[in-house]
Structure 1
C-alpha cells in the first residue's frame, strides 16, 4: 500500500515556466487524502523557501517549506550522519551553505574535513586551485549531484557535474555524490517522511535518475511522460517503472 509520495519537480510539476497539466489537482489530492509528500530535487542552489515561492509564482499552491528535500539538504543530512561538528570548504551557493550551517558544520579553508561542491555561477580558477590543494591534502571530496547540464531558457548551461569533473581531473579522485540517482537521497527522503521505502511512490520524468534511484531504494516508481522520457525510450532501459502516466494529474493513490 502506498502511504507517501516523493516527487521530482522539473518535468513533473512544471516545465520551464509552465505548469504541467494536472499538477495542482495532484497537490490537492495529496492534501485531501492526507498523504505525506516531498518534492525532491537535485537543485542545491535554492532553499525550500525559494522553491515554495517559485511554485507559488507559477501558480502551484498548498506547498510548505517542509514539503521539499534538495540535494543540499540531503548532502548536509548525510555528512552530519558521518561526522559531528565537521568543517567544509564549499563551492556552491547560499542554499548549500545554509544547510551545512543548519547541521552544525563550520565553513573553513584551513584543513577542512570535506570539500563540498555544487553548481555555482561564481566558480573560478582560484576555487578550483583551492579545492584541488585541499583534496590533495586529505579533505574528502563530496558532490551534491552529478548533473552535467541544466536546461534553461534558450538552451543549456553547465551544472554541478562539470565543476566536479574539473576537480576530479586535477586530483585523480572521484567525488562521493549524494543526489539523484544515488538511492541514498531517496532513502533519506523516506526517513524524513517516516515511512519504509516500500510504502512510498517515487514520481519522476527520467528513467536514468528518478526511476532507477527509486527502484534501487526499494520504492514503487511512477514515470510521467511530461518531461524527458518518451514512451519509445522506456524500452531502451533494462528496468521499468511500476506505473506510467501521461502527467501527474492522472495519479490517483486510491487506484494504485
Structure 2
C-alpha cells in the first residue's frame, strides 16, 4: 500500500483556473486505492470549502473539507498554541480565508494595538495597508507571514504572491516575519498529524524546490517534484538537495512505487 500522500495544489493540481493534465486521474487513484491523502497549500485566501468547490468545478469530485489544510489554517493553529491572552487580536493583510480561520480560533480582527500583524497574499493590497502594517509592527505587534512564496503559477504565467508583500513590510520595518507555511516543517508536521501518520510514512508532492521539497525533506518525508508548476529541470539542479522522484505531472506518479 502506498504511503500517506501530502500534495501541494497550485502548480500540481491546477494553475489558476486550469486543471493540470493527469490531476483528475491522480485523485481518482488516491480515492479508489483508499490511500490516505491531504492537499496542503500555501494559499491562505481560500477555505477548505472554497478549495473543494473549486476542484469540483474543475471536474474532481468525491473530496471533503477534511482533505485540505491551508497556510491560513496552519497559521491560526500556530497562533492559538502560542498565544496565552484570552482576547487576542490581529491586523490582517489577506483575504477572507485567513480572517475566517483566525476567528475560528478565537481571535478578533483589530487595527488598534493588535498583538499580531498577519500577512498573506492579497489582491487588494495597497499603500494604505502597507503604511498601517508598518506602523503597527513598529509599535510592537508581532510580524507573522502565512507563507514565503514570491510568485504563484497561474494560467498564462506567474503573479506576485505573499512573499512580495512580506518583503515590502520587512524592508520598511527592518524586521523579518515568522513564516508558518512551507517550507517551515511545522506545517508538514501539522499535515501528518491531521492524517494520523508519522512523517516518515508520508510523501510530499510539490512543484517548488524551495518550499515543497525542502519542507518535506526536513520533516523526514519522501518527496516528489512535478514539473508542471514553477520548477524546471534547470532550476532543480541549482539546489544543493534533490527530490526522491521527479515527474512531468502527477499523472505519472505510481503510488505503489513510493
Question: Normalization by structure 1: what TM-score?
Answer: 0.92
- The match for 1:148 is 150
Runs of 4+ with >4 A deviation: none
CA distance in 2, matches of 1:113, 1:30: 41
CA contact (8 A) 1:27 1:62 kept: no
- 1:148 deviates by 2.1
Contact 1:39–1:69 under 8 Å retained in 2: yes
Give the C-alpha shift of residue 153 in structure 1: 4.5
**Greater alpha carbon shift after TM alignment, 37-46 vs 12-21:** 12-21
Question: Which one of the candidate residues 221, 225, 228 is aligned to 2:227?
Answer: 225
**Considering only aligned residues, what root-mean-square deviation do their CA atoms show, in Å?**
1.8
Q: Which residue of 2 aligns with 1:113?
A: 115
Q: C-alpha displacement at 1:43, in angstroms? A: 0.9
Partner Cα distance (1:212, 1:155) in 2: 24
C-alpha separation in 2, matches of 1:138 and 1:41? 29
Question: Kindly tell me: are residues 127 and 227 of structure 1, through their superposed partners in 2, closer, same or farther at Cα, counting changes over 3 Å?
Answer: closer
Question: C-alpha offsets along residues 44-81 of structure 1, whole Å, 9 cap, x if unaligned?
Answer: 11111111111111111222111111111111111111
Partner of residue 245, structure 1:
247
Could you tell me the TM-score, scaled by structure 2's length?
0.92
For 2:248 and 2:143, the matched residues in 1 are separated by 39
Q: Tell me if the contact between 1:115 and 1:139 (Cα under 8 Å) persists in the aligned partners.
A: yes
* 1:173 partnered with 2:167: no
Query: Structure 2: 5+ residue runs without aligned partners?
Result: none
C-alpha distance after superposition, 1:155-210 (max 9, x if no partner): 44332222212211221111111112222211111111111111100011222221
